[in-house]
Chain A
Amino acid sequence: MDNTTLKEKIQGLLPGAEFQENKQFITFIIPADQMHDLALKLKNEPDLAFDFLFCLSGVDMVKYMEVVYHLESTLHRHQLVLKVRMYDREHPAADTVCDIWKTADFHEREVFDLLGITFNHHPDMRRIFLDDNWKGHPLRKDYVDEVNIVEL
């Protein structure tokens, strides 16, 4: 499916989606509470068939926290990028997609560990790299660590 058809299809599925310009991939910004349903539809519709989540990243844009999903379809070989924004910096929360794409299990734990974004309904929401009793989330822009980070 080429890019224009894909763009129209996604906009048809979810009118509230905001399109973002990007040279490489079709990018949409999705409201956090509608992500899970859209993800299910994206995976299950036969002419979309996005079954390969090849990257799940968390980003700390100071005004909001963002989770970026890079999706690909192994059948049609088209790609899509979805972004979910959370404006609550203290307790950002998104819905998990690990029941749809199993690879999200570890990736969401990593995002929680390094950025503090919790994922609702995740089966095992705990840190993956750092100690269980580590304070803070290192990848945040306001993270300060006198001991471990050397500022040059």
Chain B
Amino acid sequence: MKEVINLPVKNIEEEEYHINMGPQHPSTHGVLRLVVSLQGEIVQNLKPHCGYIHRGIEKMCEKDTYPQIVHLTDRMDYLSAHINNHAVCLLVENALEIDVPERVKYIRTIVDELNRIASHELWWCSFGMDLGGLTCFFYGLRDREKILDIFEESFGSRLLHSYYTPGGLMQDIHPNFQKRVKEFIKYFRKKIKDYDDLLTGNIIMQERTKGVGILTVEDAVAYGVTGPSGRGSGFSCDVRKHHPYAMYDKVIFNEILMHEGDTFARYMVRMYEMRESMKIIEQLIDNIPAGDFSAKMKAVIKLPAGEYYQRVEAARGELGVYVISDGNKTPYRMKFRSPNFSNLSALDHISRGGKIADLVAIGGSLDYVIPDIDR
């Protein structure tokens, strides 16, 4: 694949040179190519080249039925797979005006929040590793394994589950589910203090992240940076609060907002969000009502003609699903508003003037997952 880089060649000063980070690189999380223009160690500008994992999901959706589309959404942001599934299922259910049973809503919320914790754990371990604290990688993964074991027992797979389906769930949760989740919460409350001891309180880490990669709140809104990255700048964008779905309007939790907008703020937002997720799960796990695990759906799901938009809070930001339906069983056009795509567009702006080492820290704190960018 021969690609010609048409960079605007205005005045290249003598000491400016280009460095290529990726597509295979230990710290761009996935296949992303960043062409960084440097002067010494200072980043002048940055051009991301995406598309290495573009699979044409939106085109495929035009030929797939709605239950089949749920399986495709797993593969976009695979670390918050359940939440992606939730978006499509909610869209279909709201379009058809179906009321899912209470049990389904409880379970979906609990599993979404568990998924959020697992995703943030993976973020933490790779962020520590990028900064050089290699031990963090193993601690984060060890705790994430506990969640993945719970998922495997109930849903059958560790990473790409496709557990939700329009109307409810594919099957009921395992009898051990509640007990194991409660054990996990107790275990993780202790472990998260270890995380703070190891990385958050470390002076080296704080020196490398405070004041680095500042994103003002106006820029966050302009670039569409949502999720923990946006909330670290003070942009109140939590879809669970502004457009609640599932059980989110019935549980008590805080939207974490910080106003400095630097890497450390984005880091702290995610650390607090893990605690908030545990709070949500604790409020729900003991009260799951008995009932069906799925509403009665027709064999072939056809959405009435029209346009529908559904927003959910994925682990990395606001995921939007926009469907134009012409009354058939496959959508006419399906568009995924992916959070990572917008988050990446801010990378150029906030890494200018920093060093390469800062670029790695900033990329880690924006926490982009490339398959979601490329779809």
**Which of A7-15, A28-36, A87-95, A126-134 lies at the interface?**
A126-134
Does the CB pair B341–A54 fall under 8 Å? no
Does the CB pair A23–B224 fall under 8 Å? no
- A112-142 at interface with B (beta carbon < 8 Å): 114, 126-133, 138-139
Given contacts A106-B342, A128-B51, contact A51 B224 (CB under 8 A): no
Contact with B54, one of A51, A101, A130, A152 (Cβ below 8 angstroms): A130
Q: Does A38 contact B (CB under 8 A)?
A: no
In angstroms, Cα B301 to Cα A95, docked, is 38
- B1-34 at interface with A (beta carbon < 8 Å): 1-4, 6
Most B C-beta atoms less than 10 A away, residue of A52, A126, A132, A148: A52
Does the CB pair A24–B235 fall under 8 Å? no
Interface residue count on the B side (C-beta < 8 Å): 40
In angstroms, Cα B226 to Cα A131, docked, is 29
When C-beta atoms are compared, the residue in chain A nearest to B97 turns out to be: A23
For B20-60 the 0/1 string (1 means CB < 8 A from A) is 00000000000000000000000000000011001010110
Given contacts A60-B333, A130-B54, A132-B3, contact A106 B344 (CB under 8 A): yes
In angstroms, Cα B320 to Cα A57, docked, is 11
Q: Does B335 contact A (CB under 8 A)?
A: yes
- A1-56 at interface with B (beta carbon < 8 Å): 22-25, 27, 51-55
Q: Which residues of A contact B63 (CB under 8 A)?
A: 152
A91 to chain B, nearest CB (A): 21
Contact with A22, one of B1, B4, B306 (Cβ below 8 angstroms): B306
Q: Which residues of A contact B236 (CB under 8 A)?
A: 74
When C-beta atoms are compared, the residue in chain B nearest to A100 turns out to be: B222
Does the CB pair B322–A54 fall under 8 Å? no
A77 to chain B, nearest CB (A): 7
Q: Which residues of B contact A52 (CB under 8 A)?
A: 221, 224
Does the CB pair B322–A70 fall under 8 Å? yes
- B307-337 at interface with A (beta carbon < 8 Å): 307-309, 311, 318, 320, 322, 324, 333, 335, 337
In angstroms, Cα B309 to Cα A51, docked, is 19
14 more contacts with CB within 8 A, not counting A54-B224, A102-B345, A128-B50, are: A51-B221, A54-B226, A55-B309, A59-B324, A60-B333, A74-B237, A77-B242, A101-B222, A103-B224, A103-B342, A129-B50, A129-B51, A129-B54, A133-B2
